[in-house]
Structure formats: C-alpha cells, structure tokens
Structure 1
Amino acid sequence: MIRCVKTLVILLIGAAAADCSTRQARDDPRDATAQHELAVSYFTGAGVERSYAPAAFWMRKAADQGLADAQSDLGEMYKVGLGVPVDLTQSFAWFLQAAEQGNPVAEYNVGTAYRDGRGVTFDPAKAVEWFSKAAEHDDVDAEVALATAYLNGQGVAADHAEAAAWFRRAAERGSALADYNLGMQYANGDGVPRDTAAALIWLDAAVARANRQTRQKFAMARDAVAKSANELR
C-alpha cells in the first residue's frame, strides 16, 4: 500500500511538472527551457502519454531559439527517426549547432558523423578534432573514441601511449570498453609496459561492467591472459 501511494505521488508530481511546462511553453513562446522540458516529458512519458511527434514539435521550438540541449536532442531524433523521419543531414546540422556552443554530447556526435561519413563527408581528422573537444569536456564515449583513433592511427598519427592515457581516463570513469582496451595494452606491452597483473585488473573490471553482448568476449580475453601468465610461471 505504501509503495502504491509513493508511486501515485511520483506520477502526480510528474503530471504537475508536465502541465506546468505545457502552460509555460504555450504562454511564452520565447521560453526555450520550458519548451525543451515539455519535449522531454513527451519523449520519456513523464506526466504525459509518451508521444514522439509532439516531442519533436516542442524540441524544434526550443532548438530554433538556440538552446544547445534541445539542438543536440533534436539531432538524435533525426538520427534514429523518433518523431521525425530519419535524416542524417538534418541530424548532423543540429548536432553541429549544439557542438559549436560547447555541448559535449553533440561534439561527440559530430565526431562520429565525420568518422563514419554519415550526414557529412567522411573526414577522420575532423572527427578527431571534435572527439578531442568532447573528451576535454569529460564525455566518456568521446574519450574512448579518441583513444581508439590514436590506437589505430585514424585521423591522427598513431600514438599508443596517448591511446592508453585516454583509455585509462575513460576506464576510471566507468567505461567497460576502455577497461578492456587498456587491459589488452598492458597484456601486450602496447603503449605501456607489459604488466600481466595490471592487465587482469582492468580485464576483470571490463567483465564486471560489460553488457550481455560484450561480457563473453571480455571474459575470454581475460581468461586467455590469465592462462598465458600461468604457463609462463
């Protein structure tokens, strides 16, 4: 019964917040923050029935007024086709507007667009430029992407020590993929001194943090490193 009451209170608060955002967004067409909040409410179903079309409508209103978070969110909606048709050119354009205001998520997405040639001409050097900006703004995905670019020499001269530094930064912030890559660098002495103990620490962390799709791969790598170490004893 207590749980039901708590749930009802949460739903009522969400509905009240959504209603407040609705009135504010409609009463003041210049209130980009209220428009963005209303868009997010429709997108997530917080206080209103989830519906992507009105989410896109209000997101566009806020984005047109220059709100970086709304521009980034609208770029994502065009990227995957939620509330609007898939349009990678439009997606890139909105990500770029947000990125130019220093939005780290948008900076990362601009980087991936250049890296993959999706919505814009393929340009790995520009990808690295934007990954660097996002990484300096503490975007973990960008840190991993930048490390990978240094590891593979994509858009920048290969530098495995620099790759390890960025993988470590992302790993310390909870990235399982960074854990794995850093662990393998330690296992192979690639960009860092060979250190099996350190390799196993990072590979154990990768397995612990991995999702269902990657856990088996990471576990197999860890077990192979451990087996190799035992054979050398």
Structure 2
Amino acid sequence: MTCVFAMSADHCHIPLLARRDIIWFVLAQMMALLVALAPARADAIASARSAYAHGDYQKAVRQLTPLALRGDAQAQAMLGFMYENGFGAPKVYDAAVDLYIQAANAGIPFAQAMLGLMYDKGHGVPQDVVLAYKWMNIAAAQARSSQRDYCLRLRNAIASKMSMNQIAQGQAYARSWTLAHVQAGRAAPRCSSRRAKRCAGLFDQEALAVGGGRR
C-alpha cells in the first residue's frame, strides 16, 4: 500500500444517509477534541472544525496537515477523512488509509471506525470483512457513548455479511489488538488496564446474535 498523499482513487460508495451520519460524526469528534487539548493545538483544531463546518475544506486541510505530519493522531484521523472524501484535497484512498491506520493504532475511535469502513468497501486496501469487523468492534468498544450506537450499527451491518467463523476471528483480532494497546498505554481511556479484558470483548456476544451470522 502506498502511504504518501498520492495516487488516484475510485468514487466512494457509502450511501448518502451513512455519509451524512459520518459528516456529523466528524463534527462531533472535532468538538470533543477541544475539551482536553493544549491551547495552541486546540486553536488549530477549532479553526479546522469551523472551516469544515462552513465548507472551507482547503483551510481545514491547511490547519490539520502540520499537526498530522507531526504525528498528532486526532489531526491524522480528520485529515484522513478529508482525503477519503476529496474535501479540500485530492480524493486519495491510499493516503486516507495510511492516516487512518496511524490514528487507529494510536487509539482514536473515529479513525478505527473509518478504517473499518475502508476495509468493508475495499477502498485503499483489499476488501476484508474480518478486518472491517475487527476495527469497527474496537471502535464500538472505545467510543464515547454518544458515538457508540453509530459504531455498533455499522459493525452489526458488517457482521450480517459474515460467517460465524469470520465473526469469531474478527473478535479475536479485536481482543488481541486491545490487550496489546492497553498494555502499551495507547488504547482509549475507557479501556483502562483494569477493564482491558472486558473492553476487548465488549459487545462480542451481541454481535453473534445480530443476523445470526452465516454458517
């Protein structure tokens, strides 16, 4: 996979309603960032959020890019969304995936959810429902309560296309990732080491019941 901001990409096939939900998800994520950020970084994110909300996507990209290049995971997640959708930047799925991967591995639920969708659609990566489920399950387990239901709906939609064995494999991948990242201190705060095992397996049994899974 090419991991620089280059190469062309096909049209995104996310349904209109889902895309609208994702856009509001992005705005909510940007707003949540402002609570705990250092002043200078908060100002940059606030400026990017305002620019995004007003349709000035190029300004949002300009604000996010320096932060993303310095390894800021939140900025990487937002910038990945801009590249995925061609907002203020070329629509480049490879670049979006690279940014999502960095942010997802840093423990950002939004990036984890978006990466799951990329795997589900085969955008910038080979289509893989097991990896799509893995990342969406991780996102659902770590997201804030206001965002968790949305992640769960997406994860359950993915699960409805999977066999029971595929779901079990996706759950195992999610548990392995979460336990490793909790130990390394890179998972979301709600997945503390004391709750690591519960967090890693959160929603597993519910997923098995959704649509029954194909055998």
Query: Which category of TM-score, normalised to the shorter sequence, fits these structures?
Result: 0.5 to 0.7
2:139 counterpart letter in structure 1 = A
Candidates 127, 131, 142, aligned match of 2:64: 131
| 3-state SS of 2:94 partner | helix
Match of 1:106 in 2: 43
User: Is 1:179 aligned to 2:112, yes or no?
Assistant: yes
- How far off is 1:140 after superposition? 2.4
Greater per-residue helix proportion: 1
CA displacement, residues 145-170 of structure 1 (integer Å, 9 cap, x when unaligned): 10111111111111111111111111
Deviations 1:16-65 (A, max 9, x none): xxxxxxxxxxxxxxxxxxxxxxxxxxxxxxxxxxxxxxxxxxxxxxxxxx
Task: Spell out, residue by residue over 1:45-88, the C-alpha distance to the aligned partner (whole angstroms, 9 max, x if none).
Answer: xxxxxxxxxxxxxxxxxxxxxxxxxxxxxxx9xx99xxxxxxxx
Distance in structure 1 (CA, Å) of the matches to 2:146 and 2:50 = 24
Instruction: Measure, in 1, the Cα distance between the counterparts of 2:92 and 2:214.
Output: 29
Superposition CA RMSD, Å: 2.6
**Matches of 1:221 and 1:128, distance apart in 2:** 27
2:53 maps to which residue?
Answer: 116
- TM-score of the superposed pair, with normalisation by structure 1: 0.51
Listed one character per residue, the Cα deviations across residues 78-99 of structure 1 (whole Å, up to 9, x for unaligned) are x99xxxxxxxxxxxxxx9xx7x
Distance in 1, matches of 2:144 and 2:56, equals 30
2:140 is the alignment partner of 1:207: yes
> Secondary structure of the residue that 1:229 maps to in structure 2?
coil
Give the match's secondary structure for 1:228. coil
Specify the SS of the correspondent of 2:120: helix
Separation in 1, partners of 2:115, 2:83: 13
- Aligned partners of 1:160 and 1:190 also within 8 Å: yes
Which residue in the other structure is 2:123 paired with? Answer: 190
- Code of the aligned partner of 1:188: K
Residue of structure 2 in register with 1:31 after alignment = none
Tell me how far 1:195 sits from its aligned partner: 1.0
**Offset at residue 105 of structure 1 (A):** 3.4
Larger radius of gyration: 1
Aligned AA (1:162):
A
| TM-score (normalised: structure 2) | 0.55
Q: Give 1:232 shift.
A: 6.8
User: Which amino acid in structure 2 is aligned with residue 207 of structure 1?
Assistant: A
Aligned counterpart, 1:61: none
Equivalent positions of 1:154-173 (< 5 A) are: 154-173=87-106
- Retained in 2: the 8 A contact 1:105–1:134? no
Question: The residue matched to 2:160 in structure 1 has which SS?
Answer: helix
Q: Aligned ranges for residues 3-18 of structure 1 at < 5 Å? A: none
Which structure 2 residues correspond to residues 30-179 of structure 1 after superposition, within 5 A?
103-117=40-54, 123-179=56-112
**Structure 1 alignment gaps of length 5 or more:** 1-75, 81-94
| CA distance in 2: counterparts of 1:213 and 1:111, whole angstroms | 22
Letter in 2 for 1:124: Y
Q: Unpaired segments of 5 or more residues in structure 2?
A: 1-30, 164-212
Task: Show the counterpart of 1:39.
Answer: none
Q: Distance in 2 between matches of 1:105 and 1:192?
A: 32
